[in-house]
Structure 1
Amino acid sequence: MSSYSSLLVDIGGTNMRYAYANKKGISEENILSNISDQNINKTLSNLLSNPKIKNAVIAAAGPRLGNRIEMTNRKVIIDADLLGRKFELANSQVLNDWEAVGYAIDEMKLKKIKKGKSKSNVDLMIGPGTGLGFAIVADGKVIPTEIGNTKLHSKLLLNNLGIKPSKYFSVLEDVISGPSISRAYQSRYKQKLSPEEIVSLAKKRNPKAKFIIYGFVDNLIQFMQDVSVAYLPRRILLGGSLITDLAYLIKDNKFLDHYSNHPKDQHAQILKSIEINLITSKTPALKGCFNYLNKN
């Protein structure tokens, strides 16, 4: 990394990714799998202690208040101003994780699963993972949200998963995220499995797993429809490893037809005009951190 002066970091609910950058581009990505909360700040300190590093942009899940994020899926606080002072950085910034993805929108690799003809200047980015990532991109401006922690879920979404209201299903990401799949399966069948195990079983046509996974996709499609009617986008961009695993269902005509089905014909026509894509880029958040650094 001798020629690099900047550090780019993406902290997820399971893994931590980082890369080095200079004005010409980004180094190869490094992945720290299954990193614990305790090791995140230690790792950041080790990376930033290199005297050649003068700039840092860190993406993390959670609301950005000033230049600080208290992560919603970990007991970790990222205070970029504090890190900047401690390590004498010229530029130290923190971004919401899907805010960072938004800054990579113009260079993303996409796979179109539904054609559209909308002329809107708005794109919606959705990523159900450890939580429910959602960001709006309008005229190049990225607007992060915490919609996953709102109470905008209904009995319909619970019914799709075959579960009853409880404290474990109190906000939207409790019914649209990776952990929601595990919790719903455990609540309904009294057995604890990981989301990956349940997805794998569903692909093998296990009836219990299929019920939960189909219910999850129904919930995702319903959410996509709701935010489409609310924000009238040109495109929806879906990303994350869970989306990749479930792409075979999401692009199925049964689910796409459900997306475009609305009781009001005018709104049904709007939904039919919206393009839907899968994000196939491997590290969009790191690329977004790089783009943000070059703009600030």
Structure 2
Amino acid sequence: MTFSQGLAADIGGTNTRLALVENGQVREDTIARYRNREFGSPEEAIDSYLADSGRPRCKSAVIAIAAPIEGKAIRMTNHPWMFDAEGIGKVLGGAPVTFLNDFEALGYSLDRVSPQRLTSIYDPGRPIREQATRLVVGAGTGFNAAALYQNLHGLQVGTGECGHSTLAVETESELRLWSYLARNRGRASIERALSGNGLREIYEWTCLEDGRAPDTLAPAEIASLANSGGDRCCENAARQWVTFLGRVIGDLALVFLSLGGIVLTGGVTRSLAKFLQEPEFLGAFCAKGRQQQLVSGIPVQLLDDDFAALNGCAARMSA
């Protein structure tokens, strides 16, 4: 049996990513990804990883979860798993377990991200303000954001559940779309649009508005057809999706005054990277009335690293 400083885990609504941590750093040769649907519980997924890794003895574990972190029992928002620190600790041989929100882990990861994994989406041509607040925002199975602050105690990360805020619309057609997303739900949240399922439902609505029946397409297929120009409704859905994204992150930039920049992440965001360079995204991002000049000075980057949150877990483990 080998010994490890700890286990880092990033558990989203669809995938679980795990790695061993040594000397405060993720061991890249130990990174693995599992599909949540293949396991009945997080304990089963973690136990399978430990078995595949030769049963290392971990001194501690930091687990990032796509859910609000409150109390001893954590319930995921977009997956039926429940988390209990004591139960997971038993799988780890009695090691102490710390839970983080997944975007808290992403926040802690940003100072460890390789510059090669960041692509500029919008560069205002101004120096980034040192020590200013930064944001990390992502859309995948769900949607959320975290703010990074510098204070006397170093880097601090604040998280919430902003994906469940109400989606803002500005045009009559968007109001019709909002009603479509809100059907049988009472309202349309940001996450109802800015997620994989959201892209699919926007595509369905776009087809209906165009007078055609939507095909049965997965979000990845919609993104692929949009990128290739192979389907007009897929392309229009992608443009509407990035319009919503630009509007939301512009709002968040004002809420948190994120003059240090915004980092975008998430599988759906990355799949529509081409459309982030289009006028719909930037126009919606900067359209903030009397504060347009302020928001227009904030740089936006795209993070191409699906395992970044594991580095955030390692940073928290070493703190």
Same fold (TM over 0.5): yes
Amino acid at match of 1:275: P
Checking the alignment, whether the CA contact within 8 Å between 2:57 and 2:92 is kept in structure 1 is: no
Which residue of structure 2 aligns with residue 177 of structure 1?
A: 195
1:216-295 alignment to 2 at 5 Å? 216-233=241-258, 234-264=260-290, 267-295=291-319
Structure 1: how far apart are the matches of 2:220 and 2:280? 23
Find the partner of 1:201 among 217, 222, 225.
225
Amino acid at match of 2:196: G
Q: CA deviation at 1:276?
A: 0.6
Checking the alignment, whether the CA contact within 8 Å between 2:5 and 2:20 is kept in structure 1 is: yes
User: Can you list the C-alpha shifts for 1:81-137, whole angstroms capped at 9, x where unaligned?
Assistant: 443366453431111111111111101132222224453621111101101021111
Which residue of structure 2 aligns with residue 4 of structure 1?
A: 4
Amino acid at match of 1:250: L
Structure 1: how far apart are the matches of 2:39 and 2:13? 9
User: Can you list the C-alpha shifts for 1:31-81, whole angstroms capped at 9, x where unaligned?
Assistant: 124643515331224456847122111111010003542110100111224
Identity %: 27
Checking the alignment, whether the CA contact within 8 Å between 1:186 and 1:193 is kept in structure 2 is: no
Which residue of structure 1 aligns with residue 102 of structure 2?
A: 97
Q: Give 5+ residue unaligned stretches, structure 2.
A: none
Which residue of structure 2 aligns with residue 40 of structure 1?
A: 42
Checking the alignment, whether the CA contact within 8 Å between 2:18 and 2:49 is kept in structure 1 is: no
Structure 1: how far apart are the matches of 2:193 and 2:280? 21
Checking the alignment, whether the CA contact within 8 Å between 1:236 and 1:275 is kept in structure 2 is: yes
Structure 1 window deviating more from structure 2 (47-56 vs 104-113): it is 47-56
Amino acid at match of 1:170: A
Structure 1 window deviating more from structure 2 (161-170 vs 192-201): it is 161-170
Q: CA deviation at 1:215?
A: 0.7
1:75 and 2:94 aligned? no
Which residue of structure 2 aligns with residue 146 of structure 1?
A: 161
The TM-score, its normalising length taken from structure 1, stands at 0.88
Give the root-mean-square deviation of aligned CA atoms: 2.5
Given the superposition, is the C-alpha separation of residues 102 and 292 from structure 1 closer, same or farther in structure 2, using an over 3 Å criterion?
same
Checking the alignment, whether the CA contact within 8 Å between 1:182 and 1:192 is kept in structure 2 is: no
Checking the alignment, whether the CA contact within 8 Å between 2:245 and 2:281 is kept in structure 1 is: no
| Secondary structure of 1:38 counterpart | coil
Find the partner of 1:167 among 164, 184, 191.
184
Aligned residues: 292
Q: Give 5+ residue unaligned stretches, structure 1.
A: none
1:210 and 2:225 aligned? no
Structure 2: how far apart are the matches of 1:227 and 1:220? 11
Structure 1: how far apart are the matches of 2:49 and 2:16? 12
| Secondary structure of 1:103 counterpart | helix
Find the partner of 2:123 among 112, 115, 134.
115
